[in-house]
Amino acid sequence: MTPDSQSTAPDHRSTAPDPHDPEGAIAAAAGAYSNWGRWGDEDVLGTVNFIGAAERARAAGLVRRGASFSLAMRFQNDGPQKGWRRRVNPVHTMTDTGAEAALGVQGFPHGFGGADDVIFMPLQCATQWDGLGHIFDHGRAWNGRDAAQVVTSEGDRVTGIEHLAAPVTGRGVLLDVGRVAGEDGELPDGFAVTEEHLRAAMDAHGVEVRRGDIVLVRTGQLARVRRSVERGDGWGDYAGGPAPGLSFTTAGWLHRTEIAAIATDTWGFEVRPNEFEHAFQPLHQVVIPHLGLLIGEMWDLDGLAADCAADGVHEFLLTAAPLPVTGAVGAPVNPIALK
């Protein structure tokens, strides 16, 4: 398929849907952009199938300077979560410390001492991937499977995040929509990023989105919220409140470009409030169970974006393996961009 960035044909599918009919819009998009059966009935990778050995080899050739950037926010107790649906911030506890070692109560010989710790956290409390078992549409999971048979009290028995531990490495592309379409590098909350905005960013950066790419969309919201945290005003409504993000109308672009994955610097990837009345994350409902698209959220793109703006290069090798928690429907990740 020709990369979408090279297409000159008009796309009627970017037309804004009826805001009063989320059910109809979701059903239409699901029918138009379904990848069910594309990689066989047993598939567990979804669009990550678009990254092959050749794509990884080419991506490795993008490393020129050896510069590396972590795209993860810190996993810490004073993070963004507010407890919605039992999503809390990480709880980090020491089980052995230097005090016990100094007191000689750890039971080791010849002065040996050490420290140990434990962490409790929801798997989607900070920088993370949404797995294919995370979202359903009318009881159907990725590839048309019965959600009740896929995810049980034992976890995701079919498309657990562990299957993505190796393959999520390839060409990363940063589309800094905040810099291109925003003010002072940031989009306001509620700003819907359309296909036109994505194209404008590609044109401004001199980069094309190709099949198998991992696309990073920077809105600038995290930079704005981080300033609030530094002032002592806290995270506010970053976790679940109003935010810039992908418009529902980008579903066709996400399907047509055959990208492997996409991630943003926001809590929920798509624009909030959503573009429909009485709706909740309708783009998720299309792209995860129907496209099989891997979605990343709460990625810290600011350091990478500054470097891309400085050297004019918006493509790089990206390694983004999720923590392989067996049966998990999402997982933390420390993505590394190499330029």
CATH code, 321: 3.50.30.50
Tell me the whole-structure pTM to 2 decimals.
0.94
Instruction: Tell me what pLDDT residue 311 has.
Output: 97
Instruction: Tell me what pLDDT residue 222 has.
Output: 98
- The single-letter DSSP state of residue 44 is -
Same domain (yes/no): 226, 113: no
Domain residues for the domain of 240 are 11-84+123-338
H or E element: which one contains 272? Answer: none
Q: State the Rg of the chain over Cα.
A: 21
Considering only CA atoms, which of 322, 251, 179, 180 is closest in space to residue 17?
251
Q: Assign 39 a pLDDT band (cuts: 50, 70, 90).
A: very high
| Pairing status of strand 68-70 against strand 336-338 | antiparallel
* pLDDT tens sequence across 209-261: 999 999 999 999 999 999 999 999 999 999 999 999 999 999 999 999 999 99
**Exposed/middle/buried for 27, CB within 10 Å: 0-12, 13-18, 19+?**
middle
Same domain (yes/no): 27, 170: yes
1 found inside a domain: no
Instruction: Tell me what pLDDT residue 6 has.
Output: 39
Same domain (yes/no): 80, 97: no
CA angle 54, 59, 60 (to 5 degrees): 100
If you average pLDDT over residues 291-320, what whole number do you get?
A: 98
Same domain (yes/no): 237, 105: no
32 found inside a domain: yes
Q: Which residues pair with 315 in a beta bridge?
A: 173
- The single-letter DSSP state of residue 290 is I
277 found inside a domain: yes
165 found inside a domain: yes
Instruction: Tell me what pLDDT residue 16 has.
Output: 75
Strands (E) across 65-221 are located at 68-70, 91-96, 116-120, 128-130, 151-152, 155-156, 169-175, 192-193, 214-217
Number of separate domains in the chain: 2
* Residue partners of 110: CB distance under 8 A and separation at least 6: none
Could you tell me the two tokens for 143? 């590839």
* pLDDT tens sequence across 48-99: 999 999 999 999 999 999 999 999 999 999 999 999 999 999 999 999 999 9
3 found inside a domain: no
Same domain (yes/no): 194, 101: no
Instruction: Tell me what pLDDT residue 15 has.
Output: 65
Q: What is the mean pLDDT of the chain?
A: 95
Instruction: Tell me what pLDDT residue 74 has.
Output: 97
- The single-letter DSSP state of residue 139 is T
Rounded CA-CA distance 103/110 in Å is 13
Same domain (yes/no): 168, 288: yes
Instruction: Tell me what pLDDT residue 292 has.
Output: 98
Q: Assign 17 a pLDDT band (cuts: 50, 70, 90).
A: confident
Rounded CA-CA distance 337/304 in Å is 8
Same domain (yes/no): 173, 279: yes
